[in-house]
Amino acid sequence: MLLENRVAIITGGSRGIGKGIALKFAEEGCSVVIVGRTEVGRKTLAEIVSKGGVGIFVQCDISDSGQVQQMVDKVIGRYGKVDILVNNAAIGPTPKVLTAISEEEYDQVLAVNLKGTFLCCKAVVPHMQEKKYGKIINISSLAAIAPLATEAHYSAAKAGQLGLTIDLAFELAPFNICVNAILPGITDTDALNGVIPPGVNKYDFLSEQVKGVVPFQRLGTPQDVAGVALFLASDLSSFVTGDRIIVAGGSPLQPVKFD
């Protein structure tokens, strides 16, 4: 097993991409810590346990530094270490033009999507430094480099994660800590429901959306992202840091047409 005897914190691990990663890690022998704002995470944990996996659920708002520290202290108290941190928790707001985004909404998106990543890293890194080992995986988005919709606050936060990834990769390399980012494209999760017009079939709408932008001509899945996360979390990627991997079926490649 690729993650035997490892301990991983997965924020936003209750559903969507985070759940896919949690299930994959558990299959590979990892003790998973599912972090979420609601009790939904307990259902994901129960599913993992039913399949022979192990882990715990910790309710936590990652935009709150006190709650983040309490969450990490609980994990250290239980397992004595944190080998892997997956910063996946995010708010996927409804696309809006700049002038329609309120200051409150902007602050909320940045607080969870960017500040939350910073707070989790700050709380976990000292324990990784002590062990001289660690894997940090930041789940950014294709929107960080090729926005697909009008959502300046979301794109800004996800781009900020890339900057944080590169800075920490350089800073933490002497401690044998790898820091990388994954940039998912259009992925079939509950978060997509917010961009579907009322009364429109989800898959018909999304099929039209991907035709011109996804060379593979399909939506991504949480499992697509989880496979890449497994590589970055395992020792197969022990010499990979400061990198970003796009998981988007070929986006943002554009076809070349010849007359």
Active site residue 133: no
Are 249 and 183 a contacting pair, CB within 8 Å? Answer: no
Rounded CA-CA distance 90/151 in Å is 14
Q: How far apart are CA 128 and CA 224, in angstroms?
A: 27
Comparing CA positions, the residue from 193, 245, 246, 244 lying closest to residue 216 is 246
Write down the catalytic residue from 79, 133, 154, 203: 154
State yes or no: cis peptide before 222, omega within 30 of 0.
no
What's the per-residue H, E or C state across 80-139?
CCCCEEEECCCCCCCCECHHHCCHHHHHHHHHHHHHHHHHHHHHHHHHHHHHCCEEEEEE
Q: Which residues are catalytic?
A: 154
